[in-house]
Structure 1
Amino acid sequence: MARNATARRPPVRRSPAKAAARAAAAQHLPQASWISAARPRTLPLAIAPIALGTGAAVAGGGSKHLWLALLCLAVSLLLQIGVNFANDYSDGVRGTDRYRVGPPRLTASGRVAPRAVLTVALTCFGLAAAAGIVIVVVTQVWWLLAVGAAAILAAWFYTGGKRPYGYAGFGEIAVFLFFGVAATAGTTFVLIGFVTAESWFCSVAIGCIACAVLVVNNLRDIDQDAAAGKRTLSVRIGARGSRILFGILMLVPYLVVGYLTLFYPAASLVFLTVLLAGPAVLITATAKTSRELVLALSLTGISALVYGLGLAAALALPL
């Protein structure tokens, strides 16, 4: 009787969307690695603001402790890598990455234990904190500890915790504040003890580019995020709104360059980065496939790096 009952049991129905996502993940399984989990495309967003903050500091009178810029860079890079692994862990254990159609993350792929990914994320945060403490000890500006703590908490709760703010559409705000304002203006303050007007302008410019990277990334995943219940800004405003927002965010940095050119003629050379940013905007506006948006994402990241290094050089070494 039991055997017959088992034989007559109706088959379990599975969601076609979930099945397709799992099949795609299985197809790309060999691509999951520690290097891809670190998301190298995002690292320019950690380098550019430090370069800009340093360039603004030199323009503001220079510093006897420019080596502190290297510690600022270490903090920025470690936070960026840490948040990438934290996202891998949190999205994986939450089940969000089951809907991914691209290369799988470490946690979701099952190739690495979630605890190992979490350990790497926490190690990066710990190293960033250590570098930050050295900066605080050297500068004797103790309230910077609060800024560093806020940055680490923001990195974790982007996708971690019971109510991650990245799932509610506030990721762009955090990116603008921490990888734009805090990183750029903070570097200038660490080096010379105050924030110049150039630093504020640069922080807005690179903050907008950083937000643009997140927008095009979320536009690529808009359908999967919606299916997973992840209400990113792109999910909230839709694909058309995301494309328009991306274009606006990529325009602002060049308005900043136009203004700074009045005082630093060498900054006009930064307009050459339009050769990278322009195609990224065009591709994002017309993309039909995720592969095209990945290309736009790469171009935006590269343009952020070249823009940051170029404008920093223009500020530090005016004609």
Structure 2
Amino acid sequence: MKNWIAAFRLRTLPLALASIGMGAFLAAAAGAFNGLVFGLCALTTIFLQVLSNLANDYGDSIHGADSVEREGPSRAVQTGAISKEAMKMAIVIFVLLSLASGIALIYVAFGWLTFNFNLFLGIGALAIIAAITYTAGYRPYGYAGLGDISVLIFFGFVAVMGSAFLYEQSVSMNYILPAISVGFFSVAVLNVNNIRDIESDVKAGKRSIPVRLGRASAVRYHWFLLFSGFVAAMAYVVLNYVAITQFLFVLSLPLLLVNAKAVYTKHKASELDPFLKQMALSTLLFVVLFGVGNLL
């Protein structure tokens, strides 16, 4: 059980919940929050994130990114703690759990076999495919350096604007800026991971953004993500200003600065690794402060 809990990588869940949390806060500010929809949305998100983590563990072990030379935390399949067959079975189980929870979610939100039901069923299927094929399969897109784009799309636009749609039953282009904020901060989490793993990724042929740019440029890219995500949130508040409390999210800025400094100064994988969790939790705090500030 300890090996499976480690493989689930529970420290990644705050980031996933932050994404759908932003959508829930935006909907609540518009007077459209639904507790059952939120619960099912959170459950589906957790299943999808665990699915992604298990597929990543399996895929990186198969393709060599999780070799014995890797400096980051060891993975279950790589070390033999979980067999390849057991991991594949777990992936299938979490695909089914994600489907079941997702179908229940969109049924509660839209009813049975409506246009929106079918639309979101398709989006959910794409999310499952994206979670699996990031590092698994014959041509994993994560190895081509496309993971950042995928995270921006699914953790940013799909999670924030899509989850808000579940409550409000309409698309608000006004939510693009909060979606960009969460999307860029989510990409920043992935970027910390990829900067940490540059050396092992080079040996495995994984062409992540830091591998392509080099460490120095990857650090500047990281600063761009943090700066742009914060500016997008500021722009949203300025364009939708009602009360000073909307700037409550500014309290999360010191944590973002700590992360920016760490990526620049920490060169050992063991030193940089804690800042993946720090960035994920910082993003969750940012979302909570942003959401509460808009509700007050």
The secondary structure found in structure 1 opposite 2:60 is helix
2:148 matches 1:148: no
Deviation at 1:197, TM superposition (A): 4.1
Report the Cα offset of residue 214 of structure 1: 0.4
What is aligned with 1:12?
none
> Are the equivalent residues in 1 in contact too, given 2:72–2:270 (CA < 8 A)?
no
SS where residue 97 of structure 1 aligns?
coil
Q: Whole-Å Cα distance in 2 between the matches of residues 247 and 266 of structure 1?
A: 26
1:225 and 1:232 in contact (8 A); partners too = yes
Q: Distance in 2 between matches of 1:199 and 1:54?
A: 12
> Which of residues 194, 198, 205 in structure 2 aligns to 1:222?
198
Structure number with larger C-alpha Rg: 1
Report the alpha carbon displacement of residue 77 of structure 1 after superposing the two structures with TM: 1.3
Could you say which residue in structure 1 is the equivalent of 2:107?
137
**Letter in structure 1 aligned against 2:17:** I
Give the partner amino acid of 1:268. Answer: F
Give, in whole Å, the separation in 2 of the partners of 1:168 and 1:298: 25
From 252, 264, 272, the counterpart of 1:293: 272
**For 2:72 and 2:216, how far apart are their aligned partners in 1?**
22
Are the counterparts in 1 of residues 178 and 236 from structure 2 also a CA contact under 8 Å?
Answer: no
**AA in 1 matched with 2:219:** R
* 1:240 and 2:210 are equivalent in the alignment: no
Deviations 1:19-41 (A, max 9, x none): xxxxxxxxxxxxx8222222222
Q: How does 1:137-176 map to 2 (within 5 A)?
A: 137-138=107-108, 139-140=110-111, 141=116, 142-176=118-152
Instruction: Judge conservation of contact 1:205–1:253 (CA < 8 Å) in 2.
Output: yes
1:95 is matched with which residue: 47, 54, 64? 64
**Which residue identity lines up with residue 96 of structure 2 in the other structure?**
G
Closer, same or farther: CA 59–198 of 1 in aligned 2, 3 Å = farther
The residue number in structure 2 matching 1:308 is 287
Deviation readout 1:140-190 (Å, 9 max, x if unpaired) = 322111100000001111011110000000000001101111011111000
2:93 corresponds to 1:123: yes
1:184 aligns with 2:160: yes
Displacement of 1:94: 2.7
Q: Report the AA paired with residue 190 of structure 1.
A: L
Q: 1:83 aligns with which of 49, 52, 57?
A: 52
Instruction: Output the CA distance in 2 between the equivalents of 1:249 and 1:311.
Output: 18
- Which whole-Å CA distance do the structure 1 matches of 2:31 and 2:267 have between them? 49
Unaligned runs of 5+ residues in structure 2 are: none
Counterpart of 1:45 in structure 2 is: 15
When normalised by structure 2's length, the TM-score is: 0.91
- CA distance in 2 between counterparts of 1:122 and 1:258 reads 41
Match of 1:251 among 207, 210, 227: 227
Question: Deviation above 3 Å: which 4+ runs of structure 1?
Answer: none
Distance 2:237 2:230 in 1: 10
**Partner secondary structure for residue 66 of structure 2:** helix
Kindly indicate whether the alpha-carbon contact (under 8 Å) linking 2:15 and 2:281 is maintained by their aligned counterparts in 1.
no
Query: Is residue 56–residue 198 contact of structure 1 (8 Å, CA) maintained in 2?
Result: no
2: distance between equivalents of 1:290 and 1:103? 9
| Root mean square deviation, CA, Å | 1.6
- Counterpart among 275, 281, 289 of residue 254 in structure 2: 275
Q: Residues of 2 paired with 1:231 and 1:156: CA distance? A: 18
Deviation, structure 1 residue 61? 3.2
What are structure 1's unaligned runs of at least 5 residues? 1-31
| Aligned partners of 2:72 and 2:197 also within 8 Å | no
The residue identity in structure 2 corresponding to 1:70 is: G
